[in-house]
Every structure is written in structure tokens, then in C-alpha cells.
Amino acid sequence: LFLIVCMFVFSRLADLMEQHQEELATIESIDSGAVYTLALKTHIGMSVQTFRYFAGWCDKIQGCTIPINQARPNRNLTFTKKEPIGVCAIVIPWNYPLMMLAWKTAACLAAGNTVVLKPAQVTPLTALKFAELTALAKFPKGVVNILPGSGSLVGQRLSDHPDVRKLGFTGSTEIGKQIMKSCAVSNVKKVSLELGGKSPLIIFNDCDLDKAVRMGMSSVFFNKGENCIAAGRLFIEESIHDTFVERVVNEIKKMKIGDPLDRSTDHGPQNHKAHLDKLVEYCEKGVKERANLVFGGKQVNRPGFFFEPTVFTDVQDHMYIAIEESFGPIMIISKFSNGLRANATEYGLASGVFTRDISKALYVSEKLQAGTVFINTYNKTDVAAPFGGFKQSGFGKDLGQEALNEYLKIKCVTVEY
């Protein structure tokens, strides 16, 4: 009965979020600068889907029986049980404020835990609205706790806290390392880290070029580049390189930059001032290192934190912009003829390949050191598909069945009869 009640409360929360989707999208758009249409479809839409998906897992968390001690007669029964961890803390960034909350919180609650979540200081509003909706959905008091505040104070306290047994984090690699250390020193709490990325996107000359241009654009400019799986570096095969660049630049010129609440806007303002300043500096470094700035590269000449969709070509492996993540609308292009260095990065979050040759695509996907590989598509995350990085992009998965294990502990029971 308890599990059925859990499912019911979860579904009621998803319904309430859907009923409030326009209000949530408006708040998210104002708070994060995401264009309203995208906020409605992705930021809020996928958050609702995430709660619906994990509602279905509440009563399906199960262990297994394991044959042990093969000697006959076997008088053993060994089985595993999956148990909730207890009090879990979650710390999230500002790029998809509600969606990052949903990805982690839904799995955490479906696994039977309670949660204390710290949203990013610059984008706490939808998390607070969410808290209100959990009360309306009749989550028991104390199960969902939203605790806004700074990372150095609230986030640090949660990592250090002796009663917290699990910390789920999404954010930068730099802070992820600090959190891992604090979790170890305090009480060896379980930790999962979704960190930065510099995802390679490889476009071969035998691709569907129209689609590669369209998806290449969204791989970089989606949510004004504030997207953890944004393609951080595009490798374009030499024979189509110039055409690809020309077509991308033509498309950028058609993009409507402006008020995110205007339904016809394609490209909204960056999340906050410090981030905008970082992007200006990033492009200055690119120019200084003699990458070829083909388009954009500066703040848009209008009030607000708008940054021009930008394209750099002739980017070499050693350059700052080839190595570091921008987290902004900046396309970094390197040409290749034979052999490329898509794995020459410390990150391993996502990757992409465009080619009509499926054997080549599968071969490359096997070689890519990344937690996600998109073939002839990009940004296609789904609530049922596990998401998370390799290397310094962290470890642990959000979404899909795998996400539950991040918030469960496995008990092994052996009976001799």
C-alpha cells in the first residue's frame, strides 16, 4: 500500500507541475534567460516527464537471488535487497534550474529517500515553486527540503554534514573535486558527480549535410550554449568544411536575438553577468591565440546579457578554446582530413558523429571516450536513457533505471536452512 501511495503522490506532483507549466516556464525564463518556448518544452516539459517516469519505478525496486556455495546439498539462500540511503543532499547549477532538480530529485525520492536540495544562487525561483507544488501533492512534511543559499556556505555544509549519507552534484569539475573531498573526509558519503564537458562532434563528408548543419547549430546554440552536453568542439572533414561554415554563418544571421518572453525569439540572454563576462574573455583568448574568428565574439549592443552566437575556425589542439569549456554560444571548429583527436580532452560527457556509413559510425562510437554518443542526431536526451560522463566529466548516472542505483544501497542476505 505504501508503494502505491508513493506512486500516486508522484503522479499527482507531475500533474500539478503540468497544470502550472506556463507559470513555471515564465519564472524559468525570467530567472535563467531561457527563451520561453524552450523553457516550456524542455526545462519544464522534461521535468514533468521525469517525475512521471520515476513514478513508475516506485514499486519496482527489487533485488535478486544468487546461487552461492555450489557444494551439494546446498542449504543456502542468498538474496539482495535494495534499500534507501536515508537523507540525501543535491546541489545543482543554473543552466536548467528545474530540470536539473527533477533529474536528481525524482530518482532520489522514487528510491525512498528524503532530500535537501540547494539550487544555484542565481536561479532559485522554480525550485521554490516546486517546493510549493510538493506540499500541494501531499508529500509528507520533511521529505522534500529546498535550501537556497551560496555554495560556499550551504553547499559546503551539506557536503560536510554527518547525517547526510549521499550527495548528488551537477556543476563544474572544479567544485566537484572539492565536494568529493569533503564527502570523503566528513563521513565517506556516497557521491555522484555530473561535471563539465567539452564534447566532440565529428562530421564526415558522407553525412546528410542539411541535417548536420541543423543539428550542429543546435549542438552549440541550444539554450544559448548553457548546456552541459553542448558540442565543445566540432571536427569537420576537410572537403565539406568551408560549405559547412558558410551555411552555419548564414543560419546565425537569421536568428532572432531578444526578449526571452517573446514567443518568436530564438536566442535569449546569458544566465548572469559574471558568465557573460567570462564568454567575452574566452573569445578574446581565442583571438589572441590566432584562432580564426569568423562570426560574433562579443556582447550584443543592446541592454541585457546578450552574447552573439560565435564561430571560430582553424582551432588547434593546444589552444585554450580547444581545451576549456565555454558554456556559451561559441562554435569551435577544427578541420580534419585523416585522423582526428576527439578524445584529446580530459572531459568525457557526450559526443556525436554524422555519417551515412553506419559501420563507420559504430566504429567511431566504440572509440569515443564519452558517456553519451549521438549518431546522426544531437541533444536527444530522454528520461529513460542513462546520462552521465566519463573521465573528469564525473561518474554516476542521472535518468533511466541506472539513476535509481545512485540513491540505493544493496544489502546481501544469506540464510542457511
CB of 231 to ligand NAP, least distance (A): 13
Q: Does 225 bind ligand NAP (CB under 6 A)?
A: no
The grid coordinates listed for 146 are 529546498
Instruction: Please name which of 102, 126, 125, 124 lies closest in space to residue 115, comparing C-alpha atoms.
Output: 102
Q: Which of residues 389-408 bind ligand NAP (CB under 6 A)?
A: 389
Residue 105 to residue 303: CA distance in whole angstroms: 36
Q: Of 227 and 355, which CB lies nearer to ligand NAP in the complex structure?
A: 227
Q: Does 178 bind ligand NAP (CB under 6 A)?
A: yes
Q: Which of the stretches 68-76, 151-159, 301-309, 377-385 binds ligand NAP when contact is defined by CB under 6 A?
A: 151-159
Q: What is the DSSP string of 225-293?
A: G--TT-EEEEEEEHHHHHHHHHHHHHHHHH--BS-TTSTT-SB---S-HHHHHHHHHHHHHHHHTT-EE
Q: Of 258 and 389, which CB lies nearer to ligand NAP in the complex structure?
A: 389
Q: Of 21 and 173, which CB lies nearer to ligand NAP in the complex structure?
A: 173
Q: Of 156 and 265, which CB lies nearer to ligand NAP in the complex structure?
A: 156
Please enumerate in sequence order all residues whose Cβ is within 8 A of that of 131, keeping only pairs 6 or more positions apart, or say none: 144, 145, 146
Q: Does 197 bind ligand NAP (CB under 6 A)?
A: yes
Report the residue from 39, 91, 203, 322 that binds ligand NAP according to the rule CB under 6 A: 91
Q: Does 111 bind ligand NAP (CB under 6 A)?
A: no
Q: 3-state class of 398 per DSSP?
A: strand
Q: At what angle are helices 45-55 and 2-19 packed, to 10 degrees? A: 170
Q: What is the DSSP string of 109-120?
A: HHTT-EEEEE--
Report the residue from 58, 110, 228, 234 that binds ligand NAP according to the rule CB under 6 A: 228
Angle ∠(387,23,104) on CA atoms, nearest 5: 20
Q: Which of residues 323-362 bind ligand NAP (CB under 6 A)?
A: 325, 327, 349
Question: How far apart are the two ends of the chain, measured CA to CA in Å?
Answer: 31
Q: Which of the stretches 108-116, 175-183, 278-286, 307-315 binds ligand NAP when contact is defined by CB under 6 A?
A: 175-183
Q: Which of the stretches 17-25, 46-54, 88-96, 215-223 binds ligand NAP when contact is defined by CB under 6 A?
A: 88-96
Q: Of 36 and 94, which CB lies nearer to ligand NAP in the complex structure?
A: 94
Neighbours of 288 (CB within 10 A): 10
Instruction: Please name which of 82, 106, 79, 80 lies closest in space to residue 92, comparing C-alpha atoms.
Output: 106
Q: Does 116 bind ligand NAP (CB under 6 A)?
A: no
Q: How far is C-alpha 333 from the geometric centre of its chain's CA atoms? A: 23
Given a contact cutoff of 8 angstroms between Cβ atoms, the answer to whether 191 and 183 are in contact is yes
CB of 217 to ligand NAP, least distance (A): 20
Report the residue from 37, 76, 121, 343 that binds ligand NAP according to the rule CB under 6 A: 121
Q: Is 132 a catalytic residue?
A: no
Q: How far is C-alpha 2 from the geometric centre of its chain's CA atoms? A: 32
Q: Does 112 bind ligand NAP (CB under 6 A)?
A: no
Q: Does 186 bind ligand NAP (CB under 6 A)?
A: no
Q: Does 155 bind ligand NAP (CB under 6 A)?
A: yes
Q: Does 95 bind ligand NAP (CB under 6 A)?
A: yes
Q: Write down the catalytic residue from 28, 194, 226, 406.
A: 194
Neighbours of 244 (CB within 10 A): 22
| Residues with active-site annotation | 194
Interface with ligand NAP (CB under 6 A): 91-95, 118, 120-121, 150-152, 155-156, 159, 170-172, 175, 178-179, 194-197, 228, 325, 327, 349, 389
